Amino acid sequence: ELKELKEPKPLPTVFSRTFTERAIGMELSETSTGRTQVLRVAEGSAAWTLGVPPLSIIVALNGNDVSTLKYSDLQAIIKKAPRPLEVTFDGSAYAGLRPDEIVKKAAQAQGMEAATLKIEKTEANKGLRCSMLTRVADTVEFEYEASYATATGGTVMFDSSAQRSRRPFAMALGNGGAQTAGLELGLLEMCIGEERTLRVPPELGFGRRGNKLYGVPPDTPLTYRVRLVSINMQTDPASDRATLPDEQRY
């Protein structure tokens, strides 16, 4: 049975990261309002290590407001600026999005296909935010229940972490180790302690063949109830990726 969530401390939408490397590893773009946005973060880069999320807006460099600068000018300044360089970001781009929209944008920014996965948060998750969100290459632990609806309106639970070992299931995100692609995508941009219901279409589930091992018929939509227990061995929702030892950041 999935446990009730406790409300973690809110995550500030404006945050800073200090870079000492010349190559930061951020692909930038210009928004429709003329601001400079992080479009993509290179895996293994300084920005990746410090947890800079895609879609965040660059608003200041070394404490100086740069929010009104043109994208091309700001990109050149960042490239030439002496190091260390403190970059301040505004992460409120996620604030007005549904959970499935957040995951889709984050997945696309990291080169993954999100298709038509639908993500629902439970009532216990309303307003839930934290200091560390899952991303590709993280090792995560989560509890889950997997089910599908029958033609007669019934529900069949075909797998769960409780059935497997009575312990959370562990895997690395992004290496295809999840039961289905929909489950893996649904674990992106997730907070420690967060609970979600994933509505997975057949193309992100077991597809046209179904799965004989689990008794899932062909072309069957799946439902996963998941609760994230840990990210890289961290179980505290207040954990901040930027302050963790290197071996626990990714």
Which pLDDT score, from 0 to 100, does residue 50 have?
86
Domains of the chain: residue spans and CATH: 14-95 (2.30.42.10), 99-243 (3.10.50.40)
Q: How confident is the model at residue 249 (pLDDT cuts 50, 70, 90)?
A: low
Res. 234 pLDDT band, cuts 50 70 90: very high
Collapsing DSSP to helix, strand or coil, 208 comes out as: helix
Per DSSP bridges, beta strands 169-172 and 195-200 are unpaired
CB 127 within 8 A of CB 233: no
Structure tokens at 136: 């590709």
Who has greater pLDDT, 62 or 237? 62
Residue pair 204/115 in contact (Cβ under 8 Å)? The answer is yes
Cβ count within 10 A of residue 208? 8
Q: Kindly indicate the confidence band of residue 104, based on its pLDDT and cuts at 50, 70 and 90.
A: low
Nearby residues of 91 by Cβ (< 8 Å), 6 or more positions away? 11, 13, 14, 15, 53, 55, 56, 57
- Give the pLDDT score at 27: 83
| Per-residue pLDDT tens digits for 39-67 | 777 777 888 888 887 778 999 999 999 99
Each residue's pLDDT tens digit, 181-190: 899 989 998 9
Other Cβ atoms within 10 Å of 52 Cβ, number: 24
Q: What is the pLDDT of residue 82?
A: 96
